Structure 1
Amino acid sequence: MGKMKMNSWQWQKKGEPENLVLKESNIPELGKDEILIQNTFIGLNPVDWKLIENGHPDWEINHIPGVDGTGIVIKVGDNMEHLQLGSRVCYHTDLSKAGSFSTHTIVKGNSIMTIPNNLNDAAAAAFPCPSLTAIQAFQKIPSLLNKIVLVSGAGGSVGYFLTQLLLESGAKVYVTAGKLHHQEFLKMGVLKALDYKDKDWKKEMKKSLQGNLFDVVFDMVSGAHAAGLLDLISYYGHMVAIQDRIKENLLSPFTTCVSLHEIALGAFHKYASQQQIAHLMQNGEKLLCKIRTGILKQREFKITTFDSLPQHLAEMKKNNLSTKYLVKI
């Protein structure tokens, strides 16, 4: 019997998503702690085109990118025989390994989330990167009930999901996002929605706070943008920079005592303990159930074809779209 084959989009060099090349190759042998997933959908994220453009220290020519996918478990390693073949799962990949831009992906068996019944594969493929990032950011703050919170750049998938988690926790939530999202956020219970591209948005936001400052700011824009929000944070408040880090020397010591938090979902593959990974996957499965029951909503997504994957990555990069693309295998 010949080796199983897979088709995948492979990275050749730093540059545009259109530089990806579609190739057929053998599916590698499984390690003892690994499983083989036959993908049904691939979720595209901004981090995908950013990595293709800039490369990654562990990538060599013909590396398979892609962080999010959904599929069926069709083979398991020796230590993973407790996992049921045919299970529907979604996953976030280790950037140092072959990713999801393929008909088949190998992942660690402890890094998957089982998809609940009555939740379709497309919704599950849209879930891992944005939603696990949101829950990691959310859990940085010990108590959020009645806290005054800003979600900066809430229009994308991470901010949209995080805003719902904050509202569910009883926080008093303010957001910045593109104007087309404002009415939806206000209907959800957000107290104020402004566009951070407007010149005077900070002045208007301060006015709406009636002399208060934010207990917590979650920034989805950039490190530089997050640094510009430090003056909106109260004494002993928190800055959770999701898109980039803030340099500590931007804060004067022994003044407002603002705590700086960084978020790096992909780092869990290398640095998290087995217990932490299990906890993250369990949290993910709970959130998937809340999506299934309609308690939490996802951004609308568009389904496209495997052949057009690079084209849509390029479109995401060019237009900075909040559109969520899913690739159907």
Structure 2
Amino acid sequence: MNSSNETLQLCDLPETMKAIVLESPSETFALQEVELPLPQCDDNEILVKVEFVGLNPLDAQFAKTGFCKWQYPHILGLDAVGTVVQANKGQFPSVGDRIMWHSSLAEQGVLSEYAKVPNFAVALIPENLPSETVAAVPCSGLSALIAVEKIQINEGDTVFIDAGAGAVGQFAIQLAKQRGADVFTMASKHNHKLVKKLGADAVFDYKDKKLCEKITTALGPQGFDAVIDTIGGDSTLRNIELMRFCGRIACLKSLPILTPELMFRKAPNISIVSLGGAWLANSLCAQQRMSFMNNQLLESIDNGDITVPKIAHVSFNAEAITQALHHQLDGGFTGKQIVEII
């Protein structure tokens, strides 16, 4: 650790670590297992023994396309849970603390035995919460919470949530219901029971050819007050059509081409949700805000106010993680894939 301050260590540390890396992006990517030197921390960074990593659709997408800030081989993974093993004396969190975080998209990821992270960007895990449960939270939970706050859901609002059975959708349904909204969503028929249990008031089959007609019949002609758009593309255009005039929409994907006629007719208030932007914009305030929101989510889960998606375990080896990410790209995946780092 590059610091003039005294550093504390939980235990003797190895010189190298096992990591799962992407040698180069492609449609048929296959990850590799390598040995790398332990990360060297700056003054405001802590070293963490990674215990669980949550896999996200974003990990799979960038394994295909790569990212402009990456150098290869690149360690994948954005969501991690682990124990602080090295920190400056007096630094918070301290050695031995169990933490969760969503890491920088521009830096090396967390699918490794050890990782470094700025101390102000992490959330302290409540004692009673299992680490594997917590690993399912950061990307999907934060995205849902930021979306709900950006579209300013109030009691009595009608809210449409795309892909209700997805991880973001499951968190978003619960958060919207906590704020008193009437929640409409869509999912595969076999997931209707799940999303209703989470609080959805009306559920539609996303494969239904008369989807828009049935939503309009159930909702009435006024349109939704707000939408959480998780899919993007043509779904964004459909969702804006389903909104009332000057409705609010939070988009988690890039915007499609929006015609002037649609913009003038609907005048939507569009918000973009970008967790990676907090790092790419080098916004210390936004990074600290994510830490605060992660603590907020953990408190709600610890209190039993929010449940996390069902967890599917993935082994910490290149072949298993490669298969898991391709499975996400195939679509129709419900729940969260969690890698235990052992």
If the TM-score is normalised by the length of the shorter chain, which range does it land in?
A: over 0.9
Give 1:172's aligned residue: 182
Q: How does 1:5-20 map to 2 (within 5 A)?
A: 5-16=16-27, 19-20=30-31
Conservation of the 8 A alpha-carbon contact between 1:10 and 1:62: yes
Q: Partner of 2:104: helix, strand, or coil?
A: coil
Do 2:22 and 2:75's aligned partners in 1 also have CA atoms closer than 8 Å?
Answer: yes
Q: Contact 1:149–1:173 (CA<8 Å) still a contact in 2?
A: yes
Distance in 1 between the 2:16 and 2:135 partners? Answer: 22
Which of 307, 322, 339 is the aligned partner of 1:310?
A: 322
Unaligned runs of 5+ in 1: none
Q: Secondary structure at the match of 1:306?
A: coil
1:29 aligned to which of 40, 51, 57: 40
Structure 1 residue 243: Cα displacement: 2.7
Q: After the TM superposition, list the runs of 4 or more consecutive aligned residues in structure 1 that deviate by more than 4 angstroms.
A: 250-254
In the alignment, the residues of structure 1 paired with residue 267 and residue 152 of structure 2 have an alpha-carbon distance, to the nearest angstrom, of 16
**How far apart, in 1, do the equivalents of 2:37 and 2:275 lie?**
29
Report what 1:109 is aligned to: 119
What residue identity is the alignment partner of 1:218? Answer: I
Q: Comparing 222-231 with 98-107, which one deviates more in the overlay?
A: 222-231
SS in 2 for 1:110: helix
Q: What's the counterpart of residue 85 of structure 1?
A: 95
| TM-score normalised by the chain length of structure 2 | 0.90
Residue identity over aligned pairs, in percent, reads 26
For the aligned residue pairs, the C-alpha RMSD in angstroms reads: 2.0
Tell me what 1:125 maps to. Answer: 135
Provide closer, same or farther for how the CA distance between residues 104 and 131 of structure 1 changes in structure 2, counting only shifts above 3 A: same
Offset, 1:131: 0.4
How far residue 92 of structure 1 moved from its aligned partner, in angstroms, is: 0.8
Provide the secondary structure at the position in 2 that maps to 1:288.
helix
Choose the corresponding residue for 1:75, options 86, 102, 105.
86
Q: Can you list the C-alpha shifts for 1:67-100, whole angstroms capped at 9, x where unaligned?
A: 111100111258x724310100011111111111
Question: C-alpha offsets along residues 231-258 of structure 1, whole Å, 9 cap, x if unaligned?
Answer: 1110110122213324444554543321
Could you say what secondary structure the match of 2:280 adopts? helix
Letter in 2 for 1:268: A
1:2 CA drift (Å): 8.9
- Determine the structure 2 residue equivalent to 1:286: 296
Question: Does the CA contact (< 8 Å) of 2:250 and 2:271 recur in 1?
Answer: yes
CA drift at 1:276: 3.2
Cα distance between partner residues in 2 of 1:323 and 1:18 = 23
In structure 1, distance between residues paired with 2:27 and 2:263: 42
For residues 192-250 of structure 1, give each alpha carbon's deviation from its aligned partner in whole angstroms, at most 9, with x where no partner exists. Answer: 10012210011011001133210111111222211122211101101222133244445
> CA contact under 8 A between 1:98 and 1:106: conserved in structure 2?
no
Distance in 1 separating the partners of 2:181 and 2:282: 28
**Residue in 2 aligned with 1:326?**
338
The answer on 1:192 being equivalent to 2:210 is no
The residue correspondences of 1:198-209 to structure 2 (distance < 5 A) are 198-209=208-219
Instruction: Give the aligned length.
Output: 328
